[in-house]
Amino acid sequence: MHIQRTNFLVRFYHQLGSPPSFYRISGYFLKWLLFIAIGLTIWGLYDGLVLAPADYQQGDSFRIIYVHVPAAWMSMFIYAIMGVCGAIAIIWRMKMAEAVMLASAPIGAWFTVIALVTGSLWGKPMWGTWWEWDARMTSELILLFLYIGIMATYSAFSEDNRKAARMAALIAVVGVFNVVIIHFSVKWWSSIHQGSTVSLMGEQHITWDMLRPLLVMAFATKFYYGYSMLKRARVYLLETESNKRWVQDIVLGEKA
């Protein structure tokens, strides 16, 4: 039984590494990922903006946390995935790793923009300033530049898709160090940011009524990322594999 399960996982892994198999399998998940993302977003926003109690210090202004924090988490989470995919693309030249990495870049960039903007909106009434060049905010801004750099690098070498992907992968791998800096910046340097409110292992510094919608929004953003990434990766495959028979069959099937 264990051997059969292992063989299935290995076979499934190799299927995902094949562009036509990835395109076919990912199509089954798109609708469900989108429906779940929308449902969780509605639930999380209603729970956070309406049902959650006001903060005893910040009042209702703290509710921006339900957009800011999930967006900040996703900005780092997506880049970490891109770093792993970039390493796979460099070492094993796996095209699907390149597809996932490049499809993730615009999504991660937008989450980073949302984190920066909502952080400034939250910071003005709390800290008295829109922006402060502390380690957390500066490293998050650098993360945005890394996302833009990856997309710009791929576009600059667009005449050779594989070379462009490998160049972008190199930036993605090197930039992972910045994600580590973002995570530990509050501990390593003096910062106007508060410490971590949510901890996977330690004590929580937020009540369950406030934590619940935050976790729901965190899951909602991940399901949205899954949907958007797969959608973009499928488009990437159709563009870069346009001369392959499997893509031509899909195009002919859609025209029929």
- Answer with the residue of higher pLDDT: 216 or 122: 216
pLDDT digits (tens, 9 = 90+) for 128-144: 888 888 888 999 999 99
So where are the chain's domains? Answer: 30-53+61-193+208-255
Residues in the chain: 256
Helices 19-46 + 95-127 axis angle, to 10: 20
- Gap between the Cα atoms of 9 and 15, Å rounded: 10
pTM (global) more than 0.95: no
The residue type of 85 is: C
- Find the distance separating the first CA and the last CA of the chain, reported in whole Å: 44
DSSP 8-class letter at 54: P
Average pLDDT in the 61-69 region?
Answer: 93
Mean pLDDT of the chain: 88
Positive or negative: CA dihedral 209, 211, 213, 219: negative
pLDDT digits (tens, 9 = 90+) for 220-241: 999 999 999 999 999 999 999 9
- Answer with the residue of higher pLDDT: 24 or 186: 24
Contact 76, 183 (CB under 8 A): yes
Contact 201, 188 (CB under 8 A): no
Residue 55: strand, helix, or coil: strand
Most confident of 28-42, 59-73, 121-135: 28-42
- pLDDT bracket for residue 251 (50, 70, 90): confident
Helices 65-92 + 208-240 axis angle, to 10: 40
Q: For residue 211, which phi and psi values (nearest 5 degrees)?
A: -75, -40
Beta-carbon contacts of residue 136 (< 8 Å; ≥ 6 apart): 182, 185, 186, 191, 193
Beta-carbon contacts of residue 149 (< 8 Å; ≥ 6 apart): 171
Other beta carbons less than 10 A from residue 253's beta carbon = 8
- Gap between the Cα atoms of 8 and 231, Å rounded: 25
pLDDT at 125: 82
**Half-sphere exposure of residue 11: CA atoms within 13 angstroms, side-chain side:** 6
